[in-house]
Structure 1
Amino acid sequence: MPARADHDARRGDVSAAVWQVLAEHGFGGLTLRAVAAALGASTGLVTHYFAGKRELIAHALDILEARTTDRPRQAAPGPGLPALRTHLLNILPLTPDGAAMNRIWVGSWDVALSDPALYAAQTARYQRIRDVLRGCAVDAQGLGQLPPGDPDDLATAALSFTHGLVVQALFDPDRFTPARQTRLTDDFLAALARPASAR
């Protein structure tokens, strides 16, 4: 049992080193050597946990998803459209922590697109996000907050809008301040809420 506890503790140290490298250098700087340096250990120790860079990147993506899920978030004031709004705001880089997390996510796209297994994992992650947004859209339609329509399309449009805003805010934070991001999100949702005949 102590050996298992030591192994788990060491793996936690390795995971912390992976996150440190990600936060400082992004996926472009994520190497076995860089993780070993952050850990203050040999590369050989890191290869005990990861056979190669692909496994290291897969683990980094898992850490990123867990940290994204566990970070402080706004609580939805109610179901339907308020919940949809809250989910979108929780994705946006409205705080320094949110901006750092989004920079890492955007940096992960290149590595995920070039590896079939990582590609599949990222596809599943984005489907899970769309499923959550779809549930909000269904609730909003049931409450009369959104007009009838395909909730899958609504979820896809909402996530596409949000990711586009993320990229613009990361590249031009002075222009896309948190207040402006929030206003643009509210404008987007208000447009969704209008009947099709009024758009």
Structure 2
Amino acid sequence: MPRQVDHHNRRELIERAVLDIATECGFAAVTIRAVADHIGASTSAVTHYVGGREELLRNAVRREIDKRRQEGVQAMQGLDDRAALRALIEWAVLGPDARTHQLWLALVLGAATDPALRAELDRFNEWWSAQLRDRVARVCPDDPVGAADVLDVFVDGLILTGFDAGQPWPMERRARLLQTVWRALGL
């Protein structure tokens, strides 16, 4: 009798393997063979669910990005523009754990050479920019472009700078720096 496979769980297992490998070794290390080895299956067990490496990457990254976007939306839900802006930035720099920061760094680095990753990162960045710029325009009407740019560079820089030491900065340090930025912007 053939073994019953839960296809939904198998897809999730494959996508988690992609993200695990990318977090540890970068997206260049993500291959169908590496994913199969990671989940203890054959390559055909992986290719049953994806047509190739590009689809493998796109599915896993899209799911992760959609999850992150949903978290961002939930963080801002029901808040006025000023509070929603603060919640969005705090979600980005204080919310993620070290693994999530590592994955995002791998995604940014991988997007430089991989079109599938670039497309998914661009899709996230469009959403991010719309969320940030819409709220900034309502709470910083004197210089919304400048304020949005400062916050954008702050978020990107804080995430990337944390890796100079091999791990994100401690939460307290990130929170202190964020308070400095809020004061500088008058928020």
TM-score, reference length from structure 1: 0.75
**Structure 1 residues 108, 190: CA separation in 2 closer, same or farther (over 3 Å shift)?**
same
- Check whether the contact 2:98–2:168 (CA below 8 A) recurs between aligned residues: no
Given that 1:80 and 1:138 are in contact with CA atoms closer than 8 Å, whether structure 2 keeps it comes out as no
Q: Does 1:39 align with 2:30?
A: no
| Greater Rg by CA | 1
2:13 and 2:83 map into 1 onto residues whose CA distance is 39
Q: Tell me what 2:152 maps to.
A: 159
Aligned partner (choices 147, 172, 192) of residue 185 of structure 2: 192
1:34-183 aligned at under 5 Å gives the runs 34-69=34-69, 75=75, 78-92=79-93, 94=94, 98-140=97-139, 146-149=140-143, 151-172=144-165, 176-183=169-176
The CA distance in 1 between the partners of 2:116 and 2:30, in whole Å, is 18
Comparing 12-21 with 164-173, which one deviates more in the overlay?
Answer: 12-21
**Once the 2 structures are TM-superposed, how far is the Cα of residue 43 of structure 1 from its aligned partner?**
0.7
Instruction: Measure, in 2, the Cα distance between the counterparts of 1:174 and 1:25.
Output: 15
Distance 2:108 2:166 in 1: 20
What's the % identity of the aligned pairs? 29
Alpha-carbon distance in structure 2 between the residues aligned to 1:118 and 1:28: 11
On the 8 A contact 1:27/1:108 being kept in 2, the answer is yes
Superposed CA RMSD in Å reads: 3.0
Instruction: Look up the equivalent residue of 2:17 and give its one-letter code.
Output: A
Shift of 1:87: 1.2
Structure 2 length-normalised TM:
0.79
**Residues matched between the structures, number:** 182
Tell me, in whole angstroms, the C-alpha distance in 2 between the residues paired with 1:37 and 1:45: 11
How many Å separate the matches in 1 of 2:120 and 2:72? 24
